[in-house]
Amino acid sequence: MSQSSKNPAGVPIPNMRRGIRAYFADIASEMRKVVWPTRADTVRLTGLVLTVCGIFVVYLYIFGIIVEFVINFLVSGGKK
């Protein structure tokens, strides 16, 4: 995106006349710059995400039980 004009706010506006081929060439160029994680990092982070999700599921389950107890207590008028 070598040429770009600026709108009144000073934000650059890309030149759209380069076409679809240039668009995909820019995508390919940017993808070559990406630093991909190693397999070990991917496995470690996937395990972390699954662990956090599991903890969150347990938290929501316990919270649901507590809310159910409170609602049943209030509806029954304090009688069990």
| Reported pTM | 0.58
Question: Best-predicted range by mean pLDDT among 2-11, 13-22, 48-57?
Answer: 48-57
The answer to whether residues 66 and 43 belong to one domain is: yes
Same domain for 63 and 78: yes
| pLDDT-derived band at 70, boundaries 50, 70, 90 | very high
> Are 42 and 73 members of one domain?
yes
29 and 42 housed in the same domain: no
pLDDT in tens, 18-67: 778 888 888 899 999 999 999 999 999 999 999 999 999 999 999 999 99
- Does 42 share its domain with 26? no
The total of structural domains in the chain comes to 2
CB 48 within 8 A of CB 42: no
CA quadruple 22, 27, 28, 29: dihedral sign? positive
Parent domain of 80: 38-80
